[in-house]
Structure 1
Amino acid sequence: MKTVQTVLGEIKTEELGSVLMHEHVCTSSMGVALSYPQLYGKNFEQQILSDLKEMKENGISTVVDASPVTLGRDVKELKKVSEISGVNIIATTGWWGCEPPYLGPSTAEQWAQCFADDINKGCDGTDIKAGILKASMDKEGPTEWVTKMHHAVGMAQRETGKKVMLHTYCPTETPRHQLKFLREEGVDMNDVVVDHIPETTDIDFVKWIYDQGAWIGVDRMPIISFPGEYAVGTETRIKFVKTMLDAGMGDRMLFSHDIMCASTLYDNQPEEIYREVWSVCPERFLFIKNRLFKELAEMGCDPAYLWSLTIDNPRKFFEG
C-alpha cells in the first residue's frame, strides 16, 4: 500500500484527490510565525480557512505547503487548519534561501540528519512529520551554501525515500546545477519535481528537464508579486503550458499556484499595494481550475483530461 505523510498522519495515495503541489498556507521569515504571529494580518487564520474551504468545495483535496523552516513553517497551525477544513496538508522540510547568520560551521551530513529527523520524528519539537523535501537555488546560482543544501537534501532523500521539490530560477537554467547535485547523491530523477517552470518559455530547456526523468512543476500561475518583478506575463505562461502539453509532457506535469493564504510579506503592505498585488489573481487558489484550464480548453484541450492531471499525476509522483 502506497501512503503519503500529511500533518494529520499517513493517508493512502488514492485519498489525495486533486492536489495543489506547491502552495504556502502561511509564510514568514524563519521563527517569526512561532514567536510573533501577530505580525500576520488581522484574522489571518480566518483567511487561511476561507481559502482551504473554498478549495474543498471546488474539488481540491490536498495541498503541499512548500514552506520549510526558512519560510516560517508552523506545523501546529497547519495541523489545526487541516483538521477544521478537511483539506490534507503535506508539510515540507529542507531549505530555502541563504545561509543564516550566527550559524557557525555545519556539514551537509548534519543538515541531512536534521531534515531526516523532520520526516522520521517530527518538526519543531512536535510529532507532526514532514512529507516532502525542498532545495532552492535562485539568481545567486551554485554558491557554497546552496550547493551544500542540495547535497544535504539529496542525502536525506536517499535515507527517507521522500520526494524532492526544487525552487529554481529557470531564466538562468539553475536546474542544470540542481539536478546534477542531487544525482551525485544517488537521487532518482523520478523522485524530483522542478518547480517554477513557467518563468521560462524555452521549450528545449524544459524538454531537457523532462528527458532527465524529473517532473515539471507548473506553478506560479499567475505570479503574485510586486509589480515589474517578473518578465513572463500571465497570458504568456498560459500559452506556454499549452506548448508543453502539445510537446507530450502532460504525463509529468504537476500543477499549482505558489501563492499564500497568509503572509507577513503581503499582509502588512499598505492597502493600495496589497490590492495591486492580488488584483492579478482574484480567483486566488481557483485560478488553475477556473481560468488556466478554461483558457486551455478554448485552445483545444480536453477539460476532463486537464482536471485528471491534478489527480493522477500527483498520485503517480508520490507512489514512485
Structure 2
Amino acid sequence: MTDTHERTVSTTTGEVPVTGLGPTLMHEHLFVFDAELERNWVRRWDRAEQVDLAVRKLDRAYDHGIRTVVDLTVIGLGRDVELVREVGERTRVQLVVATGVYTFNELPRYVTQRGPGSMNGGPDVLGALLKRDIEEGIAGTDVRASVLKVATDEPGVTPGVERMLRTTAQVHRETGVPIMTHANASLRQGLAQLDIFESEGVDLSRVVIGHCGDSRDLDYHRELLDRGAYVGLDRFGLVHLLPDEDRAEVVAELCRQGYADRLVLSHDSSTYSHSFEPATRERLGDWDYSHISRVVLPALAVAGVAQEQIDQMLVRNPMAVLGHDGPY
C-alpha cells in the first residue's frame, strides 16, 4: 500500500501530490451544455468569453481559500477536456476531471449497439471508454480522469442506469479510481446505488453519494454513512431546492453526531449551463465557487462546527477519497 504522502492525483495540468490538494470542492462543473443544441438552437455560447469567466470565478474561489475543484462534467453533460484544460492552464485552482456517462435512463446508441449480445457484437465499449479515460487520457489528450461519475434520478435504476452503475463499479475495482454520484435525495436513490455497488464488491468507503444536502432527512444520510460511504452536501447556493440555512443545519447536526470524517462540501455550480436561463441564474444571486467560503463557512461556525471539522470536510476527506489505495 502506497503511503498517502506519496500518492498523486491527475489534474488538467499534470500530477499533483494528494497532500497538495488543499481545500477542495468535490462536486462542481465548468461548462454544461449540449453542443448540438448549442449549434442549432440555443446559440449563446462564446468560447473566449466563457473561458475568461471561468478563470475569473475560479480565481475568486482561490482568493477565498479554495485550491482544488473537481469538475464532474462527463459524457452527456457536454464534457470538453480541451476546453477545461485551457481554463486549467490559466487559473490558479487545480482542476480534477471525471469519466462516465450521465444518463437518467438510456445509454447512448453507440454504447447500446456494441458489446456482447448487441447488433454489432464485439467487446464492451463502455468499460473500455472509462478505463481509457483513466489510464491513458481523455479524447486523445494526456489529461486523465481521477473520478468515476454515475447518476440515478427519478426514473430509478433503469436497465441503462443499472448497466452504467455496474460497469462503473467494475472499472472502479480494476483501477481504484473513486466513484462519485448524482443521486436524487428525495427518492433516497443513493441507497439503490450502494446496493448495486456492494453487489459488485465495491468498498463503499471509496464512494461519495452526491446531492444528499438536498434533503433534511437525517435518517437517509445516516443510512448511507453507516454503510461506509461518504455523503456529498454539495449544492450550497441552490436555494430553490433547499435554503442554505437548512443545508447548513444538516451539516452541523451530522458533525455533532460524529460524522465529519465522511462529509464533503460543494456547490454543484457552473460557469455556463443549459440548465439555467439567464434570468433563472440571476435569481440565484452570487452562486459561484466561492460561495461556501464567503457565506456557508461563517454560518457553520455560528452553528457550532469547529474549524477542525471544516478542515476535515474540505481538506482531509477529499484527500482520502482522491488519494485512493488502487485496484483491488
TM-score, with structure 2 as normaliser: 0.87
2:319 corresponds to which of 295, 306, 315: 315
Q: 8 Å contact 1:254–1:309 — kept in the other structure?
A: yes
Distance change (3 Å), C-alpha of 1:211 and 1:58: same
**1 CA distance for matches of 2:184 and 2:281?**
25
**2 CA distance for matches of 1:47 and 1:160?**
34
Q: 8 Å contact 2:146–2:322 — kept in the other structure?
A: no
1:217 corresponds to which of 222, 226, 232: 232
The count of residues paired between Structure 1 and Structure 2 equals 309
1:90-116 deviation per Cα after TM superposition (whole angstroms, max 9, x unaligned) = 111012113256434345943112101
Does residue 113 in structure 1 map to residue 118 in structure 2? no
1:189-222 deviation per Cα after TM superposition (whole angstroms, max 9, x unaligned) = 1111011011221212211111111111110012
User: What SS does structure 1 have at the residue aligned with 2:86?
Assistant: helix
User: What SS does structure 1 have at the residue aligned with 2:231?
Assistant: strand
Mapping 1:71-220, distance limit 5 Å: 71-97=77-103, 98-100=105-107, 102-103=109-110, 104-107=112-115, 109-220=124-235
Code of the residue aligned with 1:284 in structure 2: it is D
1:64-93 deviation per Cα after TM superposition (whole angstroms, max 9, x unaligned) = 001011111111111111111121111110
Q: 8 Å contact 1:30–1:73 — kept in the other structure?
A: no
Distance change (3 Å), C-alpha of 1:31 and 1:70: farther
**2 CA distance for matches of 1:65 and 1:32?**
22
User: What SS does structure 1 have at the residue aligned with 2:28?
Assistant: strand
Q: 8 Å contact 1:26–1:73 — kept in the other structure?
A: yes
2:263 corresponds to which of 253, 259, 273: 253
> Which residue number corresponds to residue 64 of structure 2?
58
Report the Cα offset of residue 126 of structure 1. 2.1
Report the Cα offset of residue 59 of structure 1. 1.6
Distance change (3 Å), C-alpha of 1:34 and 1:63: farther
Report the Cα offset of residue 35 of structure 1. 10
Q: Greater CA deviation, 64-73 or 302-311?
A: 302-311
**1 CA distance for matches of 2:261 and 2:92?**
28
Q: Any unmatched runs of 5+ in structure 1?
A: none
**2 CA distance for matches of 1:34 and 1:90?**
27
1:246-295 deviation per Cα after TM superposition (whole angstroms, max 9, x unaligned) = 111101111111010122333xx3x533422x32xx15222211211111
**2 CA distance for matches of 1:33 and 1:85?**
25
**2 CA distance for matches of 1:36 and 1:163?**
36
**2 CA distance for matches of 1:247 and 1:264?**
38
Distance change (3 Å), C-alpha of 1:21 and 1:265: same
**1 CA distance for matches of 2:16 and 2:274?**
31
Report the Cα offset of residue 39 of structure 1. 3.9
Q: Greater CA deviation, 187-196 or 119-128?
A: 119-128
Mapping 1:11-22, distance limit 5 Å: 11-22=16-27
1:23 corresponds to which of 28, 47, 64: 28
Does residue 233 in structure 1 map to residue 243 in structure 2? yes
- Aligned CA RMSD, in angstroms, stands at 2.3
Q: 8 Å contact 2:107–2:161 — kept in the other structure?
A: no
> Which residue number corresponds to residue 289 of structure 1?
293
Q: Greater CA deviation, 250-259 or 99-108?
A: 99-108
Code of the residue aligned with 2:34 in structure 1: it is S
Code of the residue aligned with 2:316 in structure 1: it is D
1:10 corresponds to which of 10, 15, 18: 15
Code of the residue aligned with 2:279 in structure 1: it is E
TM-score, with structure 1 as normaliser: 0.89
**2 CA distance for matches of 1:177 and 1:20?**
25
Distance change (3 Å), C-alpha of 1:35 and 1:21: farther
Q: 8 Å contact 1:24–1:258 — kept in the other structure?
A: yes
Distance change (3 Å), C-alpha of 1:106 and 1:17: same
User: What SS does structure 1 have at the residue aligned with 2:236?
Assistant: coil
Code of the residue aligned with 1:298 in structure 2: it is V
Distance change (3 Å), C-alpha of 1:136 and 1:106: farther
Distance change (3 Å), C-alpha of 1:31 and 1:63: farther
**1 CA distance for matches of 2:59 and 2:86?**
13
1:109-153 deviation per Cα after TM superposition (whole angstroms, max 9, x unaligned) = 431121011111111232221111011100110111100000010
